[in-house]
Structure 1
Amino acid sequence: MAPSLSSPHYSDIPFDISFSGSGFLSIYQLGVTLAFLKYTPWILQSAPHILGASAGSLVAATVAFLIRDEILLFAKQLKSFTLGVFNPSVSISNWLRSVLRKHLPSNAHDLANGRLCVAVTRMSDGKQLIISEFQSREDVEQVSLGKRVILCNPCFVCILTQQRCMDGGVSGFLPRMPESSNSTLSVCPFSGDADICPPGPPCTIEMEINGVMIKGNRDNCRRMISALYPFRLELQQ
């Protein structure tokens, strides 16, 4: 049996961390981040690259800048809501955006260079670009907070490439650094072949979505609907 991620056997091996496109299910990735902070903080602290596609890029930016206190405070505040995260008034995406705008330091670009890696899709040819070099704090904010809702005006002009781009999840659900020799720890809110994902029953139907295997079960169908639209309580009960 292979040792777990908390084993000292792995303590000196850095992992890249990749957060998939997740839509309104970014709460799952936020929960994974909280677990890392509590049980294996070295995984986040030592990660050479923290990647994100679509809404996963917001989580990646939050992790890259170690906005730990805000994450823990938000988790505590959720307990005061009836139904917690499933309360219709709770918006994970809006919270992530407000936290980044509030807490990005003036030298965010220096801290992010080479470590925060945001996936976008170039519209001219549909190729996925990994943006990891930033010239200013505004660059970090613009790329991380770019248009992330696929169904509503997804296009934006990337100020770093001066090219029309769209949601990075369109061209690759779980981004990885090209030519990187590091192992990548993938986090996805859909059960499938990601390293960290919800458990699922054995399934004979598997779907490949932009390079990621997703199980074709009822739970994943519900998750996909919830990822594209705000949480509906009847789907979560």
Structure 2
Amino acid sequence: RETDKTDSRDSTGPRKRDRIKEFATKCKKMVTTTKRPDETAVTTSPTTAVPNAGGETESSCSAEKTAVSEATTPELEQKMECRPPICLIPIKEHTDFGLSLSGCGFLSVYHFGVVKCFLRNGQPLVSKIRRVSGASAGSLVAAMFVLAPDDMDRSMAAMCEMADELNALKLGALTPGFYLGERLVQIVDELLPKDISKANHRLFISLTHHKTRENRLVSVYQDREYLIKCLNASCYIPMYSMGLTAPPPEIDGQPYIDGGYTNNLPDYSDLRTITVSPFCSKCDITPPDDVGFDWKMTLGNQHMKVNLRNIVRGAQSLFPPSRATLKHYYDQGYRDAFKFLLENDTLERETGSSV
């Protein structure tokens, strides 16, 4: 690695300065990444490898690109940085949507708030959602949204109860003899309906191959047990979920772990995807952190801002905060989703519902 000649005169901590310089250069490149639609079109990343569920042809894709160039504005380009060009088309001009929920551990209560707001105030939008994706804990909320939308409150209550259970333990999920993975399977088994046929070709679960570190998006489920295995694998964090020596879950004879390692926020080039994350980022629905600098980093294919609040959120995703804080995240998700519906003119409130 080359070093700056001007720094060579100071013999104190040259390696540290080089690392800081390299990190700053990397951040600068991410911030100044080109945004031309022809360069940000279909990529070879796992997020664009999913076949078009709607049967769209190449001609329809070219029409999308034409619409993108006509709808693009500098403000919209900046907001949709690192997103597929289809995202530059205004929400109201789309007839079909995808919904993608990021991996976020116990902060998935934010997703529950978003989904609850959609179900209560955004039925015109919900009726157009054709593909629901999720990684890690986001896949759990995605599964409930597809299969049991009327049980969202019960699902969130189960998540909060599990958080209480961990907080009562001395070392949380790392307490010897406690296995979060087993507890998670029990909860999912209790919540999922017996008929899971609606999940096929609509629910996409992000998985990471344990050995090759390749991403896989599962959308076809042989039976209910197979779906539970996929959800368990998508949430499986080595050494955290089942102790130090437990092998990872197997799907189709292959070991898989948390989908957030390789694709924490599935996004698609063929379908306008509404992305949701409790980590401040370039998502459609995300907390509006106001910081004095605009550094970004990429984790599991998700572009997030570098700030203290996101660092705290990362810790809280694995070591859950109090119920009051979880309720705050739920309310934040509801408010951010309400704002999204309002800004995109897709809000349709129930009679007498409160804001």
| Fold in common (TM above 0.5) | yes
User: What are the equivalent positions in structure 2 for 1:38-187 lying under 5 Å apart?
Assistant: 38-68=120-150, 70-72=151-153, 89=164, 100-108=188-196, 110-146=197-233, 148-150=235-237, 151-152=239-240, 153=242, 155-158=248-251, 161-177=252-268, 181-187=270-276
Query: Which of the residues 79, 97, 102 maps onto 1:15?
Result: 97
Taking a change above 3 Å as real, the CA distance of residues 149 and 96 of structure 1, as seen in their structure-2 partners, is closer
* Structure 2: distance between partners of 1:217 and 1:187: 18
Letter of the 1:58 partner, please give it: L
Q: CA deviation at 1:169?
A: 0.4
Percentage of matched positions with identical amino acids: 27
* Structure 2: distance between partners of 1:98 and 1:11: 42
Letter of the 1:211 partner, please give it: N
Q: CA deviation at 1:29?
A: 0.8
Letter of the 1:41 partner, please give it: Q
Q: TM-score, normalised by structure 1?
A: 0.78
* 1:154-192 Cα distance to aligned partner (Å, 9 max, x none): 72101xx32111110011110235xx5111111101001
* Structure 2: distance between partners of 1:125 and 1:146: 15
Letter of the 1:43 partner, please give it: L
**Which residue of structure 2 lines up, in the alignment, with residue 82 of structure 1?**
none
Where 2:119 maps in the other structure, the secondary structure is helix
Letter of the 1:142 partner, please give it: K
* 1:12-44 Cα distance to aligned partner (Å, 9 max, x none): 622111111111110111111111111102333
* Structure 1: distance between partners of 2:163 and 2:229: 27
**Which residue of structure 1 lines up, in the alignment, with residue 88 of structure 2?**
none
Taking a change above 3 Å as real, the CA distance of residues 90 and 197 of structure 1, as seen in their structure-2 partners, is farther
* 1:171-216 Cα distance to aligned partner (Å, 9 max, x none): 1110235xx5111111101001111111111433221212222111
Kindly indicate whether the alpha-carbon contact (under 8 Å) linking 2:267 and 2:275 is maintained by their aligned counterparts in 1: no
* Structure 1: distance between partners of 2:232 and 2:124: 26
Kindly indicate whether the alpha-carbon contact (under 8 Å) linking 1:155 and 1:167 is maintained by their aligned counterparts in 2: no
State the structure with more CA Rg.
2
* Structure 2: distance between partners of 1:87 and 1:137: 22
**Which residue of structure 2 lines up, in the alignment, with residue 5 of structure 1?**
none
**Which residue of structure 1 lines up, in the alignment, with residue 305 of structure 2?**
215
Q: CA deviation at 1:235?
A: 8.1
Structure 2, unaligned runs of 5 or more = 1-74, 77-90, 167-179, 329-355
**Which residue of structure 1 lines up, in the alignment, with residue 331 of structure 2?**
none
**Which residue of structure 2 lines up, in the alignment, with residue 192 of structure 1?**
281
* Structure 1: distance between partners of 2:98 and 2:324: 36
* Structure 2: distance between partners of 1:89 and 1:35: 25
Q: Which structure has the highest helix share of the two?
A: 2
**Which residue of structure 1 lines up, in the alignment, with residue 47 of structure 2?**
none
Kindly indicate whether the alpha-carbon contact (under 8 Å) linking 2:148 and 2:192 is maintained by their aligned counterparts in 1: no
Kindly indicate whether the alpha-carbon contact (under 8 Å) linking 1:50 and 1:64 is maintained by their aligned counterparts in 2: yes
More off after superposition, 134-143 vs 144-153 = 144-153
